[in-house]
Structure 1
């Protein structure tokens, strides 16, 4: 398994766009080209060809994992976990941050939310105790690498709002 930085002109972009279409819900999806045009880095996940991707945004010591997707026929085979482990290993000087839907017993998607959280925890991400809320959904913040810095994350989200005007989550702790 290998991670490769892609460009808008990379020959495998179309294959990865098809994975994007299948894996990311329409309400959350952006084309990989549009993401790159707004400064995001797209890393292709390769295992005898392109099998998935990571979308990252870097700000100071933060490496924000916006998306992780693997071809549906190859899920649950360790590819996503191996990609995360390589990402963390190759970026030791960063606070790698991810947001995943917070478990909620009243949600019909709670089983999937718990599985996603457990996936990130198994692959080196720790609970931070912080949450965000946007698009009518509560997200829990996980972190790997450097210790989570809520002030820096808040600064990052302010910066991100200059790139993506409708994305201004504010981190909070539950009381």
Structure 2
């Protein structure tokens, strides 16, 4: 399996596919405005990857960097490519690209009462299988509370706040609740 990571550009032939996948793959309350993602990706600390597998478009990866932290903000694999090990291959490649950095992400909490409990459980198992571990922290972004998983070391709440302030800017970051919670 040969993966190719390319920085997304608005003129990219994959741009429309990525936007459509993003809108389908993430619930409304977990999606930042797509235009904001695109504009923020022009910053040097943001990597918006279009991913091809064996020359076929396969998905997207959006990472925000700050100091030695890399936050996997969004990862989505095209529906046509799911179940083929591409998601795992993307994560393995990301671990090489961001080697020596603390790589972390947020997933929906496991709540048996949630409508998509099985999906949440499978997602969590996927990341654990790929080397991520529980950081025993919760993160609230807007109205959604997430569990934090990571590789390479712990992440402190103050570091997350600094990362998001660096990403969103001081004014925009005040408009959203983004904090670690107990």
Whether the TM-score (by the shorter chain) exceeds 0.5 is yes
Task: Flag the 1:135–1:33 CA change in 2: closer, same or farther, 3 A.
Answer: closer
Query: Which residue of 39, 45, 52 corresponds with 2:51?
Result: 45
Report the counterpart of residue 92 of structure 1 in structure 2: 99
Task: Flag the 1:27–1:138 CA change in 2: closer, same or farther, 3 A.
Answer: closer
Cα displacement (A) at 1:83? 0.2
TM-score normalised by the chain length of structure 1 = 0.86
For structure 2, the 5+ residue unaligned runs are: none
Task: Flag the 1:27–1:136 CA change in 2: closer, same or farther, 3 A.
Answer: closer
**Residues 73-88 of structure 1 mapped to structure 2, 5 A cutoff:** 73-88=80-95
Report the counterpart of residue 28 of structure 1 in structure 2: 30
For structure 1, the 5+ residue unaligned runs are: none
How big is the alpha-carbon RMSD for the aligned residues of Structure 1 and Structure 2? Answer: 2.1
Task: Flag the 1:65–1:10 CA change in 2: closer, same or farther, 3 A.
Answer: same
Query: Which residue of 60, 68, 74 corresponds with 1:61?
Result: 68
The number of equivalent residue pairs is 172
Cα displacement (A) at 1:16? 1.7
Query: Which residue of 149, 153, 168 corresponds with 2:177?
Result: 168
TM-score normalised by the chain length of structure 2 = 0.83
